[in-house]
Amino acid sequence: MVRRQEGRRAGRAPIVALDGTSAVPMYEQIYTAVRDQIVRGALRPGARLASTRTLASELAVSRFTVVSALERLLAEGYLTTRPGAGSYVAGVLPEDVMRPALRARGTGEAPAHAAAPSISGRGAALSAVVITGPRAEMGPRPFHPRRPALDVFPIRLWARLAARHWRAARPGDLDYGDPAGFMPLRRAIAEHIAVSRGVRCDPLQVIVTSGAQQAFDMLFRLLIDPGDAVWMEEPGYLDVRAALIGAGATVVPVAVDREGLDVTSGIARAPAARLAIVSPSHQYPMGATLSAPRRAALLDWARRAGAWIVEDDYDSHFRYRGRPVPALQAFDHDTAQHVAPRVVYVGTFSKTMFPALRLGFCVVPAGLVDAATNARAVASRNAPQADQAVLAAFIGDGHYDRHLRRARLVYAERYDAMRRAVARELCGLLDVSPAAAGTHLLAWFAPGTRQRAASLRYAPRIARACAEENLVVFPVSRYCLETPQRDGLVLGYGAVSPRQIASGAATLARVIERVR
């Protein structure tokens, strides 16, 4: 109890650089430094300062020197005092009354005549790809795609594992970790994907990243040069497109149909591409699974062209109809002809567990381990050690597999609820493509709903109207580099209950009728 009270009462210690050789007295230097931080906003109104005893100890000066500086700040109106509680930054500063413009600049408002900062051409292209959707502060909204069932995750179990980790922690656990990741977690990941996805790798080939997005960004910078042609699925995942632009790639859109990426089309458009990024298990947003002939053709092209394949194993764990298809990486082994592996496998825990965890991984060929580890260190040194340790225990103790089984049942239930709601509320308005996995559906406008000439403007209008009704839907055209022949809507159901799905479908029907 005493410790909690001390933590609540602890104040901030301003950063003060004292010059013992200066003719300016020490108390004057302290006064000036603290006042400048208050005026700049580094010390916000209402912030409590550390005690004079603490400040004197940290600055290695007498307490009288600190008291002299603070008394002047108090007299000039920069500080206030509360009996028995210490000194606080004043809510209204002298500058607020005497020079209002100074405070306006301190809030980050630029003068009207200030020139806009310039960015590079690549930066402008990157800024044009908006990958973030509406935030979820108010909870999940129908029909936000790519959102997991957070209500299913065992939060209390995770909290117990985290507490267990910290109870046994040592000082060394607070240091930097291996950039490639916490070895117990790398072993747990390697064992899990070997059984669940058929991936063949040594734990040393597993590089832990801060989500799949960091893995894409790191790999693209590592494997391609600016200007290199890269195949990307069309329509395809916006986050991947942004990472490719960030790496300076020339993005070549390759059509996706019911069999997945059209390899023949890719060869025709860019036969000497340096890399292909594919999601063979469950393509987003089309939902296609790459067929066996096309898997073979893609691997054959990569070997002949000396190209890389980055496999995004999106939604592979959530197949609730039909048999799961092994990862493409599982087929990238030809020891008889001594062909070097060409596939880099990328996975994430954001969709299978919860996005705030920010942990993902990639599996690289043995020859890339050192380069990928160094690239990971350059990106952000290493992922948080404590989260990695807790996740390793979560997987190793069998909790991850149990969570996946439960989530798979929940998604199957929500998929059925989504199909029923669409049939009941949106019949004649939308035609939904059947799905066998994942957490979203693809809905096309029914014949006669709109003229084709206007349909490409129709879906974005519906998306904007849905936002006003607390729904989140995205047009298929949002994911296209080239103008598609037709447009539709991507409807996510993973994060919402069957009841929310039903009410959301009724609202969507009203929006479509109104926009018509």
Tokens found for residue 129 = 């790809």
Helices (H), 345-478: 369-380, 385-396, 399-425, 452-468
Residues 258-279 pLDDT 10s: 999 999 999 999 999 999 999 9
Classify 2-106 by CATH class.
mainly alpha
Mean pLDDT of 75-98: 79
Domain extents for the chain?
2-106, 183-317+324-382, 403-515
CATH number of the 403-515 domain: 3.90.1150.10
CB neighbour burial string for 398-423, b if at least 16 within 10 angstroms, e if fewer:
ebbeebbeebeebbeebbebbbebbe
Looking at residue 101, what is its pLDDT?
A: 45
Residues 299-328 pLDDT 10s: 999 999 999 999 999 888 888 777 778 999
Is pLDDT at 102 greater than 60 in this prediction? no
pLDDT above 70 as % of the chain:
90
Residues 336-348 pLDDT 10s: 556 789 999 999 9
Looking at residue 117, what is its pLDDT?
A: 67
C-alpha to C-alpha distances, 118 to 3, 52, 130, 244, nearest whole angstrom: 49, 45, 19, 21
List all residues 6 or more positions away from 475 whose beta carbon is below 8 Å from its beta carbon: 459, 460, 462, 463, 487, 488, 489, 490
pLDDT band at 503 (very low <50, low <70, confident <90, very high): very high
Per-residue DSSP letter, 437: B
Mean pLDDT of 127-141: 72
Classify 183-317+324-382 by CATH class.
alpha beta
Residues 155-209 pLDDT 10s: 999 999 999 999 999 999 999 999 999 999 999 999 999 999 999 999 999 999 9
- Find, among 268, 316, 258, the residue nearest to 290 by Cα: 258
List all residues 6 or more positions away from 74 whose beta carbon is below 8 Å from its beta carbon: 80, 81, 87
Beta strands (DSSP E) in 279-349 are 308-312, 343-348
Burial (CB count within 10 angstroms: exposed 0-12, middle 13-18, buried 19+), residue 483 = exposed
C-alpha to C-alpha distances, 171 to 166, 175, 391, 409, nearest whole angstrom: 11, 7, 20, 42
Residues 39-78 pLDDT 10s: 888 888 888 888 888 888 888 888 888 888 888 888 888 8
Beta-sheet pairing, 206-209 with 360-363? antiparallel
Looking at residue 320, what is its pLDDT?
A: 78
C-alpha torsion sign, points 73, 75, 78, 83: positive
Mean pLDDT of 278-306: 95
* Cβ proximity of 411 and 494 under 8 Å: yes
Is pLDDT at 500 greater than 60 in this prediction? yes
Which backbone phi and psi does 344 adopt, to 5 degrees?
-110, 125
Helices (H), 197-262: 211-223, 238-246
Tokens found for residue 335 = 């020891």
Q: How far apart are CA 404 and CA 347, in angstroms?
A: 14
Burial (CB count within 10 angstroms: exposed 0-12, middle 13-18, buried 19+), residue 449 = middle
pTM of the model: 0.80
